[in-house]
Amino acid sequence: MSSTDSNPPKLDIKYTQIFINNDWHKAVKGKTFPVINPSTGEEICQVEEATRADVDKAVEAARKAFDVESPWRKLEPAARGNLMRKFAQLLRRDIDYLSKLETLNNGKPVGNSEGDIYSAANCIDYYAGWTDKIVGETIPGAHDQVIFTRHEPIGVCGQIIPWNFPIAMMAWKLGPALACGNVIILKPAEQTPLTALYCASLIKEAGFPPGVVNIIPGDGPECGHAIAAHEHIDKVAFTGSVEVGKKVQEAAAKSNLKRVSLELGGKSPLIICEDADIDYAAEVAHMALFFNAAQTCTAASRTYVHAKIYDKFIAKSIELAQQRIVGDPFDSNTVQGPQINESQFDKILGYIESGKKDGAKLECGGERAGSKGYFIKPTIFSDVKDDMQIAREEIFGPIMSVLKFDSYDDVIKRANDSTFGLAAGVITNDLTRSMMFAQRLQAGTVWVNTYHSVSNQAPFGGFKQSGHGRELGKYGLESYYEVKTVVVKLV
């Protein structure tokens, strides 16, 4: 385990204001909020704090940009795609600065930040290719009728993104919305607004018309609620917790019944069968849980292992956890940075105490790493039971809960016994068994012999309280267009 003493590079924080109509603004109420470096617990800078008044300004700009006679609405689809490609090019051009800024603000290892930015650029490029392929269809009708459909942009889209993948989640939201011709008011998480604000400058540099993309930093209860409840926002997309997702959907329903898409939490099961190679299975399970300091909605936080290989799996997993390098995210050897903030840090330590109290066996970790910042040692519990708090609730922290099973029918029932349904995984060499699991597990994504494999062209989203709607792929476009039927009588 490496030192948690972080020595972040000196970065010029270029943008800390609200971005509306391609200009920078101070908050109407004159408020700012601190942005914290989770590796040190120290303040990076102050950022302007948007409230309802700033959301109103952004809505006014966005509605003007969406006017049928506006420059944005008059762009040919291919020209819209070219603007998106230019933005993607600028993300790649500035990857060195952006990755350091992401790591400073979020705490993930700088190599992971670089990967996120490349992924974001690729996502924007992917959707740029869709701009001239969003087509309707002709439909058989009466002999003297022509019936066809048009796919039209919804209008002003509010987008609220999380802190665990700030720049990647921004791309997941912007890509399909822009490809369909919408205009956007995007709120980054208040913990991690810095890269989104820098990207606002790139959007302007790429040549997007004023008002097409507006980025407004602020908190959830004030700024996020104002977006969800605004009478003149036509759609809201939210990624985050189930608790807040319910509030977003309620506010949307009580205002103008705006369309809603939600990507929420998970308590994803990973099932390791008796025929699995133990070394490989342990490596997949390790990555499936601990990746991104386990601050991942798809984290495999319930690891079900067949009784015949349970003890060997536990031994190998402990070995991997103890080898995991936790520390300074700017150190190239580091694979795990800090948790995002003090409240998450305290919450995770509370779950560790809960696991011990409920009778799970603490195999390793279970405490903070270092004395500065929000670092937690990789933690493994064995002898976990399904009714324990650590097996029921989304932790969003580096706690692996390992459960034992004997029967495949039984483990499927146990895996599905959750209010969540975002992802699931299975490790097996039996093709028939893997297809049975893929068919019976209640999850939006099922990974077989891999985990966290996400592609821009493949849809992503959840069952049950893990949300509704899909992001990525052609399915991701469906949340951002209306279908209009046109019937023409031939005379």
CATH number at residue 87: 3.40.605.10
For residues 399 and 296, give the distance between their C-alpha atoms in angstroms, rounded to a whole number: 12
- Given a cut of 70, whether residue 4 has pLDDT beyond it is no
248 pLDDT band (50/70/90 cuts)? very high
Residues 38-68 pLDDT 10s: 999 999 999 999 999 999 999 999 999 999 9
| 1 in any annotated domain | no
Judgement on whether residues 375 and 258 belong to the same structural domain of the protein: no
- Given a cut of 80, whether residue 7 has pLDDT beyond it is no
471 is a catalytic site residue: no
- Given a cut of 80, whether residue 289 has pLDDT beyond it is yes
Judgement on whether residues 421 and 273 belong to the same structural domain of the protein: yes
The rounded mean pLDDT for the chain is 97
Q: Which residues pair with 482 in a beta bridge?
A: 152
Judgement on whether residues 353 and 218 belong to the same structural domain of the protein: no
Residues 185-206 pLDDT 10s: 999 999 999 999 999 999 999 9
CATH number at residue 399: 3.40.309.10
Judgement on whether residues 294 and 416 belong to the same structural domain of the protein: yes
Cβ–Cβ contacts within 10 Å for residue 111, how many? Answer: 14
Q: What is the mean pLDDT of residues 120-133?
A: 98
16 pLDDT band (50/70/90 cuts)? very high
- pTM > 0.75: yes or no: yes
Map residue 375 onto helix, strand or coil: coil
Q: Sheet containing 445-448: give its strands across.
A: 361-364, 379-382, 399-405, 302-306, 269-272, 423-427, 445-448
| 174 in any annotated domain | yes
Query: Of 48, 102, 263, 471, which one is the catalytic site residue?
Result: 263
Residues 355-381 pLDDT 10s: 999 999 999 999 999 989 999 999 999
The pLDDT, as a whole number, for residue 9 is 83
**What are the DSSP calls for 408-427, one per residue?**
HHHHHHHHH-SS--SEEEEE
| 491 in any annotated domain | no
62 lies in which domain range? 18-264+466-486
- Given a cut of 70, whether residue 3 has pLDDT beyond it is no
8 Å CB contact between 161 and 120: no
